């Protein structure tokens, strides 16, 4: 019986290993033996979730060629991993990754901790806030009042409730972007929208251009559809898109899709200006690339003096080049899994037709709740509560990090929910592992890149405030001390490998 569920190629594993930052860890600052560094590098990738558990690793000879090391080095590294419980092997079936008994399985995305774990662990892994009450309760009560007529139907609305499709279309029209309800499909969150788009437009092996860094869960979703991700580097700080790079990638790689977050980008917080938006739409149209624009952070401007640029779809009003994805999850509440796609009517019809083989439709009660909010003015008031929460959290977290970790570098975003932090030359992956030991959960930079990029970064969301933000920064500083001291550099904090 085959024990592995996925495979990791030699070239891919070599890229991921080389992306790790080197750090002498032996006595007197000496580097560990080559086999030990290789074993520790693979173990770090498994603990950090960048190589899945139960993934078949390359044969010894293949990996040795990819890394330009001897086969003996790879064989010794594999033997060390087997002895430590991070590798299992069987003659004829190869070797596959594992975790020793008692070690938690690494998260492949940024799933929130279960509520029962929150007492002992500060969770900075998930960029989501509690519901903005009393608006959640009022919206559900309003939805229940409107539910009876729908209860007499079969309840399946693959394109979404007509009333909510009209409401969303009217909101775009009010922004100066004429939109018909036929251009809207309601989905189960933004993830559901992007999953449907990827399956329709980007079959296995198709190229998708993505910002680098980008939102980790979307990158993983695209990988699992079999897409080939083409990273396009962002400008430093809050500069946003580098249009010269985008033009080159769209021209040379000819990706089928491109995925971007124009509004308070996750994770950097950058806000693309209007000229960049126009230029990117023009470049995508010229290349024949479908541009997927994630607007889930659009409502979360935190500074009152921001003059928000027009939506990206304003430069493609018919929706033939730009597919816009919106959601209630960030602006309102993550537990309200309502998203939507705005596109040309023929694209919407294709997405709806394909949906019959996926989730059939989005829950009616939640759609009615969002429709009630948008129709009564409750949406604007709830969003203002959300902005106030995020603004307070941002300011508290920034102050705490600056006080406890003065050598960490970041630009303070003017909206959104995330802070993208350069960690003073330390490995973000090691900090994530050490953070679990001292009671703070933080995602490392490589989760937001392709093939191990951004090892020197972590992402901090605006989800805690006051004393909790202070304590989070204190625990992060403790994690830094662990990494710098090399404490736990065995099973808990693996060393890096650079061929």
At 173 the pLDDT is 97
At 3 the pLDDT is 62
Distances in Å between the alpha carbon of 68 and those of 14, 60, 397?
A: 10, 12, 44
- At a CB cut-off of 8 Å and minimum separation 6, what does 114 contact? none
Residue 229 φ/ψ, nearest 5 degrees? -85, 135
At 29 the pLDDT is 53
At 27 the pLDDT is 43
Q: How many CB atoms lie within 10 A of CB 439?
A: 15
Torsion of CA 451, 452, 457, 458, to 10 degrees: 90
12, 68 in Cβ contact below 8 A?
A: no
pLDDT, tens digit only, all 499 positions of the chain: 446 666 888 998 998 888 765 444 444 456 789 999 999 889 888 776 677 777 889 999 999 999 999 999 999 999 999 999 989 998 888 898 887 875 555 544 456 666 655 567 899 988 889 999 999 999 999 999 999 999 999 888 999 999 999 999 999 999 999 999 999 999 999 999 999 999 999 888 899 999 989 999 999 899 888 888 988 888 888 888 999 989 989 998 899 999 999 999 999 999 999 999 999 999 999 999 999 999 999 999 999 899 999 999 999 988 889 999 999 999 999 999 999 999 999 999 999 998 877 777 899 999 999 999 999 999 999 999 999 999 999 999 999 999 999 999 999 999 999 999 999 888 888 899 899 899 999 999 888 988 667 888 999 999 999 999 999 999 999 999 999 887 644 434 343 333 3
| CA pair distance 33, 31, nearest whole angstrom | 7
| CA pair distance 271, 447, nearest whole angstrom | 21
The pTM of the full predicted model, rounded to 2 decimals, is: 0.80
């Amino acid at each position: 019986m085959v024990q592995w569920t996925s495979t990791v190629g030699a070239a891919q594993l070599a890229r991921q290993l080389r992306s790790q930052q080197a750090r002498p860890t032996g006595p007197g600052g000496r580097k560990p033996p080559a086999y030990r560094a290789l074993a520790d590098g693979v173990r770090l990738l498994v603990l950090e979730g960048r190589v899945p558990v139960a993934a078949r690793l390359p044969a010894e000879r293949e990996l040795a060629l990819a890394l330009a090391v001897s086969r003996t080095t790879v064989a010794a590294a594999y033997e060390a991993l087997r002895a430590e419980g991070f590798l299992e092997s069987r003659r004829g079936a190869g070797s596959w990754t594992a975790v020793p008994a008692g070690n938690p399985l690494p998260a492949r995305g940024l799933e929130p901790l279960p509520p029962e774990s929150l007492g002992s662990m500060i969770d900075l892994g998930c960029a989501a806030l509690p519901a903005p009450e009393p608006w959640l309760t009022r919206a559900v009560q309003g939805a229940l009042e409107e539910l009876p007529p729908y209860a007499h139907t079969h309840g399946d609305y693959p394109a979404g409730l007509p009333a909510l499709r009209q409401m969303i279309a009217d909101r775009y029209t009010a922004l100066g972007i004429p939109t018909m309800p036929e251009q809207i499909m309601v989905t189960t969150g933004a993830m559901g929208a992007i999953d449907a788009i990827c399956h329709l437009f980007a079959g296995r092996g198709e190229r998708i251009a993505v910002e680098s860094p980008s939102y980790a869960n979307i990158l993983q979703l695209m990988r699992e559809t079999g897409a080939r991700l083409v990273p396009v580097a962002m400008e430093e700080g809050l500069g946003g898109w580098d249009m010269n790079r985008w033009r080159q990638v769209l021209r040379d790689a000819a990706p089928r899709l491109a995925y971007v977050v124009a509004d308070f980008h996750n994770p950097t917080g950058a806000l693309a200006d209007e000229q960049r938006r126009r230029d990117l739409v023009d470049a995508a149209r010229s290349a024949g690339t479908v541009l997927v624009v994630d607007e889930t952070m659009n409502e979360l401007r935190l500074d009152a003096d921001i003059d928000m640029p027009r939506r990206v779809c304003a430069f493609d009003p018919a929706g033939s080049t730009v597919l816009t994805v919106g959601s209630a999850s960030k602006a309102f509440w993550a537990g309200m899994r309502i998203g939507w796609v705005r596109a040309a009517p023929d694209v919407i019809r294709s997405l709806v037709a394909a949906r019959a083989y996926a989730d059939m439709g989005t829950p009616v009660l939640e759609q009615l709740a969002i429709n009630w909010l948008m129709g009564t003015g409750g949406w604007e008031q709830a969003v203002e509560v959300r902005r106030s929460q995020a603004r307070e959290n941002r300011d508290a977290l920034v102050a705490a990090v600056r006080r406890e970790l003065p050598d960490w570098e970041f630009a303070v975003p003017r909206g959104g929910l995330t802070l993208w932090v350069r960690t003073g030359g330390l490995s973000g992956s090691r900090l994530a592992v050490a953070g679990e030991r001292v009671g703070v959960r933080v995602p490392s930079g490589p989760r937001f890149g392709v093939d191990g990029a951004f090892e020197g970064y972590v992402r901090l969301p605006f989800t805690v405030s006051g004393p909790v933000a202070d304590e989070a920064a204190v625990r992060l500083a403790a994690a830094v001390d662990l990494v710098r001291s090399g404490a736990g550099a065995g099973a808990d904090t693996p060393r890096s490998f650079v061929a």
